[in-house]
Structures are given as C-alpha cells and as structure tokens.
Amino acid sequence: MHSLPLDARTRPAPALRLSPSGFPLAGTFFAISVLVLLLYMTSLLLEIVGGWSFFNTLRKTPFAPLFSAIEDALIADLPAGNRLVLCERAAIEYVLIQYRHERCAFEKRGAMIAGALDKVGFFPAIAAFVALALTLWSNVWARELVFAIPAFYFMNFIVYGLTQEMDRVIALLEYSLECIKPA
C-alpha cells in the first residue's frame, strides 16, 4: 500500500534549519535590503546628475527659464491681442472694468476664507496654524475643525495661480487699450 519504507514514514520531518544569525530568512532579507539600497542609491545618483545638469544650464544661461515663460505667454497672448486691437475701445474698457471687479471680488473671497496669503506668505500662515493647533488641541470639538485651516490655506495657495492669470488678462486688455487710439 505504501511505497516508502517503514522508517521513512515514521521519521520526523527535518527541522527548519536556521541560518547562522538565528533567523530563517536572514539571507533573503539581506539580499532584498541590498537591492533596495542599490535602488535608492541609483535614484539618488540620477537626481544628483539631473540637478547638476539643471544647475549647470542655469549657470550658463541664468535667464533662460524667465525668457521661456515670457515666450510661452507671448505665444498664448499674441492671437488674442491681435483680435482685441480690432475691437472698439469702449467695449474693451467695459470688459476691463468688469474683469478688474471680478478679480478683486475673487481675491476678497479667498482672503475671507483663508486670509491674504499673498500678504502674509504660505509658510508664516502654516507656522501660525501650528501654533493655533497646539493651543486648541485640548478642546475636542476644535480638534475636529483645526485641520480645515491648512486645507483652506492650500486651496488659496493653489487658486493664486488663477489670480496671476487674471492679472495677465488685465495687462493684455490694458495693452490693447494703449494700442487703440482714443476716438
């Protein structure tokens, strides 16, 4: 019935052999650790090389990022500027007044929610949040609401890019008014 000899069936299974350090998977853990370390060192080296080339380019042409941003804005704004010059001056003045009003209202709404981050700064606002959170941490209901403050700061920080775009549109409208001769 059984093909194994009797002593093989009754012999206990060999015990799990421990490595010299006492852990059964020490060799595997060491190999994985070495691979993770090599991966980390490779990624660090790639970041250093990439940063070195970026800073070397920045050293050779320090105003290249600025000129690139200006060129991108010119490419985006030139067709709109050409179309605006063909419009009536009174219409552009009206749009400029409305756009300035909307930009001011937009900025005030953001300031009412999270404060004027452009006047205070993001990192001082976060430092003030930490000080406030430490003082309010003992209050249970305030602890639940305290994390809404940095969320509003972050939202205001992200939306700041939109106000910069609004400023660019206002500048474009003002430029088109300068190009159109008053009637």
Per-residue pLDDT tens over the stretch 165-178:
999 999 999 999 99
Q: pTM of whole model > 0.85?
A: no
CA distance 30 to 21: 11
pLDDT bin (cut points 50, 70, 90) of residue 98 is very high
User: What digits encode the pLDDT tens for the residues 32-87?
Assistant: 999 999 999 999 999 898 888 888 888 899 898 889 989 998 898 999 999 999 99
Buried b or exposed e, range 115-127, using 16+ CB within 10 angstroms: bebeeeeeeebee
